[in-house]
Amino acid sequence: MSGKARHALVTGAGSGIGRAIALSLAGRGHAVSLAGRRAAPLEAVRAEIEAAGGKAIVLAGFDVTDAASVETGVAKAIDRFGDIAVLVNSAGEAPSAPFEKTDPAFWNRVIGINLTGTYLVTQAALASVRRAGRGRIVNVASTAGLTGYAYVSAYCASKHGVVGLTRALALELARTDITVNAVCPGFTDTPLLDGAVETITAKTGRGADEARAALAKANPQGRLVSPKEVADTVLWLASEGAGAITGQAIVVAGGEVMAG
């Protein structure tokens, strides 16, 4: 990142894409607040960052669906590292179920984590992002925020909502120095994908390797996206050179979905 590296807060930072983003931002010199519900994986990321000479704080018990929890965590982050210049909303969940078996509790949980969580964290942090100057907000959405997939109606609805929120807020903030963008990964090699593999194996009797290969076929490049590829896109959006990029949904999926 050109210019002075600053404070970044990353939700869902304990594993998968969130972990890769946190490590990448720390590698560029940012002080990183690691937010998530479970302490152990966050502590492991913090140790990795600090072993490389970086700075990090763990915000365990950070529940993106609970406004009080979010406000407490954001305040703790600001108290430690100052105002938040880069906010990355990466916390998410991707359970699957046929629509007819998607009951209100299931629906509300997915919408609550993926969409309402993004709203709550952004609302709690926005005043700090304004104060930091040249702020960057990046929401981790999905190709499911741009197209439909069977058996994940709640997930698709939530990620479409994240993309819509991204675009609306980008316009509201267009006259400021804050940009708001989304990254939309395709099937990515993370623990979240392992859940999809387990579902496929349980329903079809396929082996895990065969199930992973079936998911990789959705990518025209014939492979799974790596978390680092998503993190590299976030680094670009967080950079000074991406100041004219706002309101965009950047697809990281090997050509599976082409936004236009």
Distance CA 178, CA 108 (A): 30
Catalogue the active-site residues: 155
Taking Cα atoms as reference points, which of 223, 130, 139, 121 lies closest to residue 177? Answer: 130
Structural contact between residues 203 and 30, judged by C-beta atoms closer than 8 angstroms? no
Structural contact between residues 189 and 19, judged by C-beta atoms closer than 8 angstroms? no
Inter-axis angle of helices 117-132 and 153-172, to 10 degrees?
Answer: 20
Structural contact between residues 92 and 115, judged by C-beta atoms closer than 8 angstroms? no
150 phi and psi angles, rounded to 5 deg: -70, 150
Residue 30 Cα to chain centre, angstroms: 17
Q: DSSP class of residue 145?
A: G
CA terminus-to-terminus distance, the chain: 27
Q: Is 47 left (phi over 0), alpha (psi -120 to 50) or beta?
A: alpha
One-letter amino acid of 34: L
Q: DSSP class of residue 113?
A: I
Distance CA 145, CA 143 (A): 5
